[in-house]
Amino acid sequence: MNILVTGGAGFIGSHTVEALLQRGHHVTVVDDFNDFYDPSIKRRNAAVFRGQVKLVEADIRDAARLRDVFAQGRFETVIHLAARAGVRPSLAQPQLYTEVNVLGTLHLLELARTFGVHKFIFGSSSSVYGVNQKVPFNEDDPIFKLISPYGATKLAGEALCHVYHHLYGLDMVCLRFFTVYGPRQRPDLAIYKFTQAITAGKPIELFGDGSSLRDYTYIDDILQGIIACVERTFGFEIINLGESQTTSLRDLVAHIERLLGRKAVARMLPAQPGDVPVTFADIAKARQLLGYNPQVKIEDGLPRFVKWFKGQA
């Protein structure tokens, strides 16, 4: 199968590309290698599959450049993972987040329609749930309390996906990822930042009182869900991909301390605007439709991450 992966040099994207190649698919990667974090990190990720894919350095806001990619690619499936990510940065740059995450998604959907792509898989986020009073979060929960531009752009992307399914019959699945971690994790995310700071004997910043809860999901489990979507037909579906287990910020730090054999020096700071108190995935739908069965609990996944992190030094 000919597959386009946008954001294919990023954390989730590079693992997805590897998994597709292992299954014999032909893959084209689009990534703009922007400076949200050190671009050399993405280039190292892409080096893993150099020579096995067609790698196009392009911005998804550039519709003309994307058109050339689609004209040459004859894609059957698009896995759209490119995005400006992160809740807190979106508060500072809402226009950029909207341009990339909404307009960029629209460009890809329109080109998928134009060039007869059969399947479109959209990487969404648990951030769309906002301050959801009911836990665990179910795909049918009403969504009225988004609290970040990032979450709003992802919800807008889901809405556009539904439009293109309804009008043009694209087979469409929107995957709501819950706090993904593992080897190659972005350096701006908590697990990486805490591990790096504690290792170096530097302070870590903890926002709030340490009680916030996250459904940390190991990359291998996320890949299980993405690959299942490639191999199945849906019509239109929104599906949570999480571990369905929450860990408090306080406990996360304690886990990392034990693995590193060092105590953290913590700076307690006020809770940040846009941060939600809890994320917690109801994965019954993923189990039913995808055969999804996450295997890596935080107690097993963190040691794998730390081992990888130490190997980068």
Of the pLDDT bands very low, low, confident and very high (cuts 50, 70, 90), residue 273 is: confident
Distant-in-sequence, close-in-space partners of 26: CB < 8 Å, separation ≥ 6 = 1, 2, 3
Q: Report if residue 248 sits inside a domain.
A: no
Distant-in-sequence, close-in-space partners of 153: CB < 8 Å, separation ≥ 6 = 83, 84, 90, 97, 98, 100, 101, 102
Distant-in-sequence, close-in-space partners of 282: CB < 8 Å, separation ≥ 6 = 136, 137, 138, 139, 240, 244
Answer yes or no: is pLDDT of 59 > 70. Answer: yes
- pLDDT tens for 120-153 read 999 999 999 999 888 999 999 999 899 999 999 9
Number of domains the chain is built from: 1
What number is the average pLDDT over the span 224-241? 96
What number is the average pLDDT over the span 283-311? 97
C-alpha distances in Å from residue 85, one per residue of 11, 81, 151, 303: 11, 10, 10, 25
Quote the pTM value: 0.96
pLDDT at 313: 63
What number is the average pLDDT over the span 211-233? 96
pLDDT at 239: 98
Q: Which domain holds residue 43?
A: 2-180+217-243+280-294
Give catalytic residue positions. Answer: 150
Residue pair 266/204 in contact by the 8 Å Cβ criterion: yes
Q: When comparing pLDDT for 203 and 274, which is higher?
A: 203
What number is the average pLDDT over the span 39-46? 95
Q: Report if residue 167 sits inside a domain.
A: yes
Q: Report if residue 115 sits inside a domain.
A: yes
Of the pLDDT bands very low, low, confident and very high (cuts 50, 70, 90), residue 159 is: very high
Task: Name the percent of the chain lying above pLDDT 90.
Answer: 90
What number is the average pLDDT over the span 259-283? 90
Q: Report if residue 212 sits inside a domain.
A: no
pLDDT at 92: 95
pLDDT at 208: 86
